[in-house]
């Protein structure tokens, strides 16, 4: 399977703990995105990278959230001091920017439950 | 703020019939639109996209129509199959290269009745 891979698929943690998620994009894709999706809602943009550079962060991304893409390949999203409101599906997507039409390809997400 | 929205949260269609899912957007500067399909437990799957300089685009069994005058987007699925049952999202983008920051609607749940 050469699609976007996310790990873990599910994470249950206690409030106050730190969690880290990993995303492996489609290998030739230069852009990587993180979105968050809560039940019954569409995905909300969090941040995106062009190669290793983080180009934009949403206001949704509080200072407890940090994302990295150190070598321009895989990315990690860390949430520190988790809160119950962080419970959501965290989606990663990638795209190859070579022109205007470059659809995002999503992984199957990491579902976070904060108890 | 401006956002993408959907007219109907649920839609039930008899297998074999055609379905139409509608979407209203409010950002007149949006220039790229995408439809995604999301099945339970999975991430959104790209279906079809359209740029603002077009008003219609066809794929395999799917057609997207864009009416910029009334800021309306629709997805037509022909000859629906059970596998078409899913939540469908429209998304819009404003940006020079597309996909920099997609704004998604709430979604419409399509159920195909056998």
The token pair that represents A112 in the structure block: 């976070």
pLDDT digits 0-9 by tens, B5-26: 544 589 999 999 999 999 998 7
pLDDT digits 0-9 by tens, B68-79: 999 999 999 999
User: Which residues, in sequence order, are CB contacts of A20 under 8 Å at separation 6+?
Assistant: A76, A77, A78, A79
* Contact status, residue A37 vs residue A26, Cβ threshold 8 Å: no
Residues on chain A touching B98 (C-beta within 8 angstroms): 97, 100-102
Does residue A8 have a cis bond before it (omega within 30 degrees)? yes
Do B43 and A109 count as a contact with CB atoms less than 8 A apart? yes
Residues on chain B touching A100 (C-beta within 8 angstroms): 32, 51, 97-98
Residues on chain B touching A4 (C-beta within 8 angstroms): 43
Residues of chain A with pLDDT below 70 are: 1, 99-101
Give the closest of B43, B46, B100 to A103, CB-based.
Answer: B46
> In angstroms, rounded to a whole number, what is the distance separating the alpha carbons of residues A19 and A15?
10
pLDDT digits 0-9 by tens, B37-47: 999 999 999 99
Residues on chain B touching A107 (C-beta within 8 angstroms): 43
Do B89 and A42 count as a contact with CB atoms less than 8 A apart? yes
The vertex-A42 CA angle with B22 and A10, nearest 5°, equals 140
Q: Identify the pLDDT of residue B2.
A: 37
When pLDDT is averaged across residues B47-56 and rounded to a whole number, the result is 94
pLDDT greater than 80 at residue B97: no
In B75-114, the residues whose Cβ lies within 8 Å of chain A are 89, 91, 97-107
């Amino acid at each position: 399977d050469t699609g976007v891979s996310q790990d873990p698929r599910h994470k249950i943690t206690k409030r106050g703990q730190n969690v880290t998620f990993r995303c492996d994009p489609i290998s030739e894709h230069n852009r990587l995105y993180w979105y968050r999706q809560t039940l019954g809602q569409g995905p909300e943009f969090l941040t995106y990278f062009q190669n290793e550079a983080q180009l934009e962060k949403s206001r949704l991304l509080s200072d407890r959230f940090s994302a990295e893409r150190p070598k321009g390949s895989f990315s990690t999203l860390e949430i520190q001091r988790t809160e119950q409101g962080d419970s959501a599906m965290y989606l990663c997507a990638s795209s190859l920017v070579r022109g205007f039409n470059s659809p995002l390809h999503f992984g199957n997400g990491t579902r976070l439950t904060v108890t | 703020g401006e956002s993408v929205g959907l007219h109907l949260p649920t839609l039930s269609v008899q297998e074999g019939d055609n379905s139409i899912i509608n979407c209203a957007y409010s950002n007149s500067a949006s220039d790229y639109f995408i439809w995604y399909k999301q099945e339970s437990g999975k991430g959104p799957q790209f279906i079809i996209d359209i740029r603002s300089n077009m008003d219609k685009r066809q794929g395999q069994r799917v057609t997207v129509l864009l009416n910029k005058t009334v800021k309306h987007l629709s997805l037509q699925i022909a000859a629906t199959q059970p596998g078409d049952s899913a939540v469908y999202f429209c998304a819009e983008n404003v940006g020079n290269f597309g996909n920099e920051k997609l704004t998604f609607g709430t979604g419409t749940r399509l159920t195909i009745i056998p």
